[in-house]
Amino acid sequence: MRPLVRVRRATPFDPGFLRRSRLLWPLERAAARLGALDDFPAAAALDRVFEGDAPVRFVTAVPRGRRRTAVDAASLYDGRITLERAVPTRARCWHDLMNALVWGTFPAAKRALHARQHHAIAARLAPGARVLPPTRTAELDALALVDEGGVLVSADDPAAMRAALRAGPGALRAAIIAGRADAIVFGHAIFESLVLGVSPAAVAATLLPREATLDESLRRIDVALATALGDPALFQTPGELCRVELGEAEPPTRRPAAIA
């Protein structure tokens, strides 16, 4: 059993999990919509993470059995989200709970990301194929990295910020302190790692124009990322993303309270 899976299964539910790291703050509103919790919510209850009408619904994941027919892209994880608006969710799973909270915080970006993954996977399937291709494309690797390990960096000058991040460590933290950039965790695997107290497997920055800051609505940041994900020229390889240290993304001592 992988170490992270072992920790995930061994960590009981904690109603105060959002207090385990300052980087968990973007999830506060979505978590508050679930109400007071003393245990992991059931999949159907997670629909409450959304403000207003839910763009997807959360359904209990069914264990995968041995495939006996041709692969149908519509029945795969991204296909079900895109076509059925159903997110398969495992019971009592920190990883999937964090995923639901990210959906409640960044619904437009999550829909755009999974739609793009679905179409990229469907385009690779040969008629009648009974197995998926053995490796992912560079595009699918990039999209998975954003989904699991993405940090959104909105900067006054994204090109200059990208160059600074590639030049060496410390650049992101310096830009945040100087007020030239903001950083917000997006990847649900990072959020899970913060809750479980383990190091995330990967952390990569996606650079966005500073159309929205932490003083403004997370909704605008959500739309900015969804727009970027809708551009087929972007996210073609993991090399477009900048690897950063998670600690560099920590918010200032006083983070803005306007996150609605």
Average the pLDDT over each of 2-11, 87-96, 131-140 and give the range with the smallest value.
2-11
- Note the pLDDT of residue 127: 87
- Note the pLDDT of residue 260: 37
Once rounded to an integer, what is the mean pLDDT over residues 157-184? Answer: 92
- The sign one gets for the Cα dihedral 127, 129, 132, 137 is negative
Once rounded to an integer, what is the mean pLDDT over residues 173-200? Answer: 94
Looking at every residue in the chain, the average pLDDT score rounds to 91
DSSP 88-128: EE-TT-HHHHHHHHHHHHSHHHHHHHHHHHHHHHHHHPPTT
Its pTM stands at: 0.93
- Note the pLDDT of residue 2: 64
- The sign one gets for the Cα dihedral 106, 195, 168, 175 is positive
For 21, the 3-state DSSP assignment is coil
- Note the pLDDT of residue 213: 54
Residue 134 · residue 224 · CB < 8 Å: no
Once rounded to an integer, what is the mean pLDDT over residues 178-200? Answer: 94
